[in-house]
Amino acid sequence: MSQRYLPKFSAFILLNHVQSIRQPASLRDRSNLLGVTPPSSGRSSPFSSSYTASNGQRYADDLESQNDEALEGLSAKVKLLKEISIGIGNEVRESAVQLSNMNDAFAETSGILQGTFRRMNNMADRHGCRWLWYIVFLIVVFWFFIIVWWFRR
């Protein structure tokens, strides 16, 4: 069964080999497809133009492609770090606004509590010691209800 496919396969290989021989070298060489890269672009080869050995050129092209891949990876990481740092900055600004609002709220609450304690002290001064007994009575009743509730659970 494998011999039946063998002539077709060998004919296919031979046909591709003949077609590759007929094509000019400029179409087979990938580095020539895009033309010469100017040296100022940063993508030019580190080797001089007189170095034209095909293995050396292929090695240089491989190095350049690896450098390009590494550069793309680094630029993606830098972009990610930039987005993270912008997010951190936004979070810090929002937190600063929230802290400022909380500070204002606590200052307002402190003023309200000071006024309440002042009025309570004025009331205590007017009524004498009787208010203290009312508070003690309320605390005892409160604790009694808590204890009863605790043991009934």
Are the beta carbons of 31 and 57 closer than 8 angstroms? yes
What's the pLDDT score for residue 134?
Answer: 84
Residue 11 belongs to a domain: no
C-alpha 77: how far from its chain's center?
9
Residue 47 belongs to a domain: no
End-to-end CA distance of the chain: 86
Q: Which amino acid belongs to residue 25?
A: A
The vertex-133 CA angle with 128 and 137, nearest 5°, equals 155
* Residue 68: other Cβ atoms inside 10 A: 12
What's the pLDDT score for residue 131?
Answer: 73
Structure-token pair, residue 80 = 């990610």
Residue 7 belongs to a domain: no
Residue 97 belongs to a domain: yes
Burial class (CB in 10 A: 0-12, 13-18, 19+), 124: middle
Q: What is the pLDDT along the chain (153 residues), one digit of tens a residue?
A: 445 544 454 545 554 554 555 555 555 555 555 555 555 555 555 555 554 557 888 888 899 999 999 999 999 999 999 999 999 999 999 999 999 999 999 999 999 999 998 998 887 777 777 777 888 999 999 999 999 999 987
Residue 106 belongs to a domain: yes
Contacts of 30 (CB under 8 A, 6+ apart): 61
Residue 136 belongs to a domain: no
Residue 6 belongs to a domain: no
Number of domains in the chain: 1
What's the pLDDT score for residue 118?
Answer: 92
What's the pLDDT score for residue 133?
Answer: 83
Residue 151 belongs to a domain: no
C-alpha 123: how far from its chain's center?
59
What's the pLDDT score for residue 56?
Answer: 81
Residue span of the structural domain in which 95 resides: 54-128
Structure-token pair, residue 49 = 């133009």
Side-chain half-sphere exposure of 4, counting CA atoms within 13 A: 1
